[in-house]
Structure 1
Amino acid sequence: MINPSAQLRRFRDEMIPVVHCVVLLLIGMPGAALAATPESAAQAGVETVAADEIFLALRINRQGPEESVLVLRRRGDGRLLVRGEDLQHWRLRVPSTAALRRGGEDWYALDAFPGLTYQVDESNQTLSVDAPPGLFLATSLPGQDARFSVPRPAAPGGFVSYDLSVGRADGLTNAGGLFEVGAFNAWGTGSGSVLARDTGAGAYVVRLDTTWTQDRPAQLASLRIGDAISTAGSWGRSLRFGGVQWATNFATQPGLVTFPLPSASAEAVLPSTVDLFVNDALRLRREVPTGPFTIHDLPVVSGQGEARLVVRDLLGREQVISLPYYASPRLLQQGLREYSYEMGFVRNNYGIDSNDYGRFAAIVTHRVGFSNAFTGEAHGELLREQQTVGASGAWLWPTAGLFSASVAASHAKRGTGELVALGFERQSRSLSFGGNVQLASQGFTQLGLQPGELAPRQVSQFFVGANGGGYGSVAASYTRQDYRDRAEVELANASYSIRVGKLGFLSFSVLRVLSGETKTSFSLNFTYVLGERSSASVSAARDPTGNQAVIQMQRNLPPGDGMGYRLVTGATEATKSERVGADLSVQNAIGLYTLEAARDQGQTGVRAGARGSVAILGGNAFASRQIGDAFAVVQVPDYPGVRVYADNQVVARTDAGGSALVPRLRPYQKNTIRIEQADLPMDAEIDTLEQDTVPYLRSGVLLQIPVRRSRGGLLTVILDNGEALPSGAVVQIAGEKNEFPAGLKGEVYVTGLLPNNRLHISWRGQHCEVNVPFRPTSDPLPHLGTYTCTGVRP
């Protein structure tokens, strides 16, 4: 009898020499196996070794296990190699050592990483890797959301805003109104404002501003044609002019950080949570993976402070990094530029004369962040009869504060002149102080000075402030202006304020006029908080005319509809009279209305006012409170009475046509508008309840919320034999793609119906059609009747 086991052993012994020969032959063939001659490896530019492929479950820094990964185990020394693609997936840095090239991929030995250790658990087929943080790729995180939100182009529309008042006192009646009219489209916004007054002795109307503005957020710039205000720079003076202005407008990208902010770097041994505290207040929380990380543009407050980074890993271990900083909005980030180019006619007597334009001027201002510690500026003013140019700089010394300097020179018919200015400021949580001094020669001139007016010889300002925490805060300032053609002005002011527990706030101030006849004034005020919107205050004051005291109680208006008031009573020593007054304010969806009454020195006066807007968009006009910087018209067609929310506050309800005006949106920022689902009927088909919109300044956007009536109904379908249509049969409206499955008892709910409908029914390759009429009703789930499907069998 033949022994099978003996035969197998004999076959194995005979085949071993054959296998050895085959392996030797394969090794000897260039590039044919896992090993190659040094000469062939050099020619290919890669390193190859004999290795086995194995799959292992991966754990990195005790996290995992993750998915199984393919590794190579070298024969002989047992070293493990992993693919470069996997290293990138694990965020490990690729070592500089030579790679093994196999299967078109690069493989790297794990022991080539300094500080990395690994262990293979053969029983569980697990690879455990412990890598120090420095071996991981660095993570870069923003400290603030600086993403640019592209504004939605404005639909053609317009608005009218008004602020009206009428009053009577001392037998005289006076009335006035401030009006603004605007129109907008995708090319920009045009607006004009006028002031109308009737004093009883005469009436007049004055045009204020007329401007067409085109904001270009992608360029961080705005074009203004018409009335505008010039850019003053560090030493110039702003003025009104009529002409053209092309200028940087950082407000078109509110998330952009324009001034240098500190960054913080650290290492996380394990995935961690990072908390940023600025002056002991939590300002930021981020999740970071294992490895080094940097958070840029930390959201710190201006001035000097300390940022504290707390890194807490999954095991609860913490590391704390302290970072002193100094941030100043007067600087520009390195490489950032700010400019303003203007030309036009200087406006005189603004608010008095509608069209008093004088000298032609061209003005240029350009600022550059040369580094995060130095910002330079050039400013020039060119007129036919005078020219003024100058340069300025702001330099940050973090341990000291911000230094600034300006020099300027002018040329005019009366000669040349010079200006020099120096400044310093230091702001911190506990103590802030600073000052600036500006000196000008007699011949110096600039825009903002009338022809022939002499520049002040000296303008000096100094301030100091201290925050004592629970002990209150104190501040003081000193101002001096020396003129050549009139008396100097010299003032000193000091104040102290403190929170008195939960009762309220106490403040004291003193003002002393040091020039001419010296005068001193004192004031003391205590405000008692009665609630979220209510407060009462008592104040006393003394000045050269005598003493006075006032008691006041007020309730502020709510954000939405509501009422507010103010009650005042007081006495004045100088006039030996008592004063009483009362104000009432009422606010609703279409306006703000005020009524005031007061009696002082034996005379009584009353005044009434109204403020609001009318917006025109989407072919409709809407009355509203003043629209603010931007607005939206929300359309939910055919659904009246639906509540509309902005920032989770109810701001409007849709009218009979399903439209509502949402005022006071934030321009160039995301505004979330949503509607209340509970206000919609059951048969409403809803794609989404909310939309985000980014409007332009002084413009409106049209938002259509995708809600529509389902125009649906329930019908029952039976077969020729009287049985119900089987569950799972498919019903379609002829010409439509939507499918409606049949339910129990042959019932089918179909939406999107027209007055007359042909329904196509399918079941196991069989088909039939039925004609179903539809008439809208108030019933959200109408039953359309029973229909017979001919030709379909169960």
Structure 2
Amino acid sequence: MTSTIRTFFILVAALALTGCAVPTVTEPETVAVRATSLNPAYSSINAQVLSDAGRVDSTFVASVDPKALTGTLTRLQSTYSQKLGDENLRVGDAVSSIGMWGTSVRYGGMQFGTRSETRDDVINSSRMATAGLAVLPTVADALFASVSDAGTGLNQRSLAVNRSLPSGSQAWNLAVKDALGHSESISAPMITRTRLAEEGCSDFSVSFGKVREDYALTSNSYGPTFANTTVACGAPLGFTIEGHGEYLADEVTAFGVGVARQLGSLGTASLAFAQSNAVSGGTGWMSKVGFDHTNSIFSLMVRSRFQSREFRDIASTALTDPIMQRDLASVGVQVAEGASLSVAYATQTTWARERTNLISVKQSLGLGRGTMSMSAGHSLEDNFGSSLFISYKRPFGVIRHTRPVLDEIEEFQLQLPQQGSD
């Protein structure tokens, strides 16, 4: 009981200090407190102060259980953000933005630009505790880590990935267990669409600060200096030219360019090339090619990555067995009205010749007022099995008719049943 009272007063004090950080404005501020997770062992609390001048946002995790390992109160992130015309200014804790390639990390510092969101395939969970540098993995990283024994970036950050049966209309299930043993359900595409820029260079993001360390394990641990810049320009003849660079003090510097173009009704093609200079690995190179096509009955997305043994980005500075080649593909077909079929394939080869192949098939069929779905996943490796899941969904009440497009078959996605925090 004493621990509960102490936690309550700490939260009230933190909220009061947060409110003091807002500049004086002519209209009253709005204060909002929200609990995204609430249980005796692990509770997440978010406090916001909103006004015309900007927004102050703070998130904490707390435990009212004296035996819990997380302590009484841990600060996750505190941020002041303000919109300046078309640009956004963020001071405090943020997540870096990336383009056709690169690494998203949590850091404390400054972020300015029009591109403030992470890429859709980046696993951006605000409550996931990680050891070491707070690097955010992609869905593809997590997928391959689920069938890898050791040596991946997730293992080094005390993250474990368990794959279970597919759920509902999704093709794969991944449960990521963080450094504190809490499980997090993931829902994100394995492949994201190529982002085309409008004419000019108004699509950009500049980040600078220090990388978070031991995120959600300690409140105020910051590591080496970090910088990240992404600029995408709409060029003549319909080309999008993108430049991306990232820097981690005493570790690695990487810079690259990407080119993308819409090829009429054929689809969108993209090509990226990057070079890195790492303290531990020397100079290396990486290239990525991609293609997207979508019409009313067919969808295709392909990504291929090739790199030298010496190439490093921030996510792979400590890897002993880096990627040599990674291929991702997703194909979807609208077979008939209310019926679709999709196939996803992922393969990866490392420089130690460790090869991983994964395949998933999903079929959906309208049946009465509901939808019947069948999902199957299989690893082509000898040490991993297969999975099959069949489900039926039927709405109750008034049905809102929506266009049965390729939303579920355009991209390879991961979805988990909601799990507890323990």
TM-score category, normalised to shorter length: 0.5 to 0.7
Superposition RMSD on alpha carbons, in Å?
2.8
The CA distance in 2 between the partners of 1:250 and 1:224, in whole Å, is: 9
Aligned to 2:348: 481
The CA distance in 2 between the partners of 1:345 and 1:500, in whole Å, is: 53
Give matches, 1:334-733, under 5 Å. Answer: 334-371=199-236, 373-385=238-250, 386-413=252-279, 414-452=281-319, 454-470=321-337, 472-484=339-351, 487-501=354-368, 503-532=369-398
Aligned to 2:100: 234
Letter in 2 for 1:201: K
* Corresponding position: 1:248 with 2:122: no
- For residues 128-151 of structure 1, give each alpha carbon's deviation from its aligned partner in whole angstroms, at most 9, with x where no partner exists: xxxxxxxxxxxxxxxxxxxxxxxx
2:42 to 170, 173, 176: 176
Aligned 8 A contact 1:510 1:520 in 2? yes
* Corresponding position: 1:160 with 2:32: yes
Aligned 8 A contact 1:164 1:176 in 2? no
Aligned to 1:209: 77
Give 1:156 shift: 3.7
Are the structure 2 counterparts of residues 166 and 411 from structure 1 closer, same or farther at C-alpha, using a change threshold of 3 Å? closer
Aligned 8 A contact 1:154 1:185 in 2? no
Taking structure 2 as the reference length, what is the TM-score of the superposition?
A: 0.65
Give matches, 1:231-310, under 5 Å. Answer: 231-249=97-115
- For residues 191-222 of structure 1, give each alpha carbon's deviation from its aligned partner in whole angstroms, at most 9, with x where no partner exists: 11101135563252221111111112x2x111
The CA distance in 2 between the partners of 1:415 and 1:373, in whole Å, is: 36
Aligned 8 A contact 2:194 2:270 in 1? no
Give the number of the structure whose alpha-carbon radius of gyration is greater: 1
Aligned 8 A contact 1:495 1:508 in 2? yes
Give 1:454 shift: 4.8
Letter in 2 for 1:238: S
SS of match in other structure, 1:159: strand
Which moves more between the two structures, 385-394 or 343-352?
Answer: 343-352
SS of match in other structure, 1:529: coil
Letter in 2 for 1:505: T
Give 1:247 shift: 1.3
The CA distance in 2 between the partners of 1:486 and 1:154, in whole Å, is: 64
Letter in 2 for 1:183: V
SS of match in other structure, 2:398: coil
Give every structure 1 segment of 4 or more consecutive aligned residues whose post-TM-superposition deviation is greater than 6 Å: none
The CA distance in 1 between the partners of 2:321 and 2:272, in whole Å, is: 19
The CA distance in 2 between the partners of 1:166 and 1:471, in whole Å, is: 39
The CA distance in 1 between the partners of 2:387 and 2:329, in whole Å, is: 20
The CA distance in 1 between the partners of 2:114 and 2:34, in whole Å, is: 30
SS of match in other structure, 1:448: helix
- For residues 33-71 of structure 1, give each alpha carbon's deviation from its aligned partner in whole angstroms, at most 9, with x where no partner exists: xxxxxxxxxxxxxxxxxxxxxxxxxxxxxxxxxxxxxxx
Give 1:227 shift: 0.5
Aligned to 1:225: 91
Aligned to 2:170: none
Letter in 1 for 2:289: L
Are the structure 2 counterparts of residues 214 and 228 from structure 1 closer, same or farther at C-alpha, using a change threshold of 3 Å? same
**Which residues of structure 2 form unaligned runs of 5+?**
1-24, 118-192, 400-418
The CA distance in 2 between the partners of 1:475 and 1:425, in whole Å, is: 15
Q: Which of the two has greater strand per residue?
A: 1
SS of match in other structure, 1:465: strand
Are the structure 2 counterparts of residues 244 and 237 from structure 1 closer, same or farther at C-alpha, using a change threshold of 3 Å? same
Letter in 1 for 2:249: R
The CA distance in 2 between the partners of 1:164 and 1:200, in whole Å, is: 21
The CA distance in 2 between the partners of 1:518 and 1:487, in whole Å, is: 14
Letter in 1 for 2:316: L
**Which residues of structure 1 form unaligned runs of 5+?**
1-152, 168-173, 252-327, 534-595, 597-604, 608-794
Are the structure 2 counterparts of residues 465 and 166 from structure 1 closer, same or farther at C-alpha, using a change threshold of 3 Å? closer
Letter in 1 for 2:326: V
- For residues 265-307 of structure 1, give each alpha carbon's deviation from its aligned partner in whole angstroms, at most 9, with x where no partner exists: xxxxxxxxxxxxxxxxxxxxxxxxxxxxxxxxxxxxxxxxxxx
The CA distance in 2 between the partners of 1:407 and 1:352, in whole Å, is: 36
Aligned 8 A contact 2:37 2:44 in 1? no
Give 1:224 shift: 0.8
Aligned to 1:84: none
Letter in 2 for 1:160: A
Letter in 2 for 1:347: R
Aligned 8 A contact 1:341 1:363 in 2? yes
* Relative contact order higher in (CA < 8 Å, ≥ 6 apart): 2
SS of match in other structure, 2:104: coil
Letter in 1 for 2:33: S
Taking structure 1 as the reference length, what is the TM-score of the superposition?
A: 0.36
How many residues are treated as equivalent by the alignment? 300
Letter in 1 for 2:80: W
Aligned 8 A contact 2:116 2:205 in 1? no
Give 1:458 shift: 1.7
Letter in 1 for 2:290: G
The CA distance in 2 between the partners of 1:154 and 1:235, in whole Å, is: 43
The CA distance in 2 between the partners of 1:248 and 1:156, in whole Å, is: 28
Are the structure 2 counterparts of residues 409 and 450 from structure 1 closer, same or farther at C-alpha, using a change threshold of 3 Å? closer
Aligned 8 A contact 2:208 2:227 in 1? yes
Give 1:529 shift: 2.7
Are the structure 2 counterparts of residues 401 and 355 from structure 1 closer, same or farther at C-alpha, using a change threshold of 3 Å? same
Which moves more between the two structures, 337-346 or 509-518?
Answer: 509-518
Letter in 2 for 1:155: E
Aligned 8 A contact 2:88 2:116 in 1? no
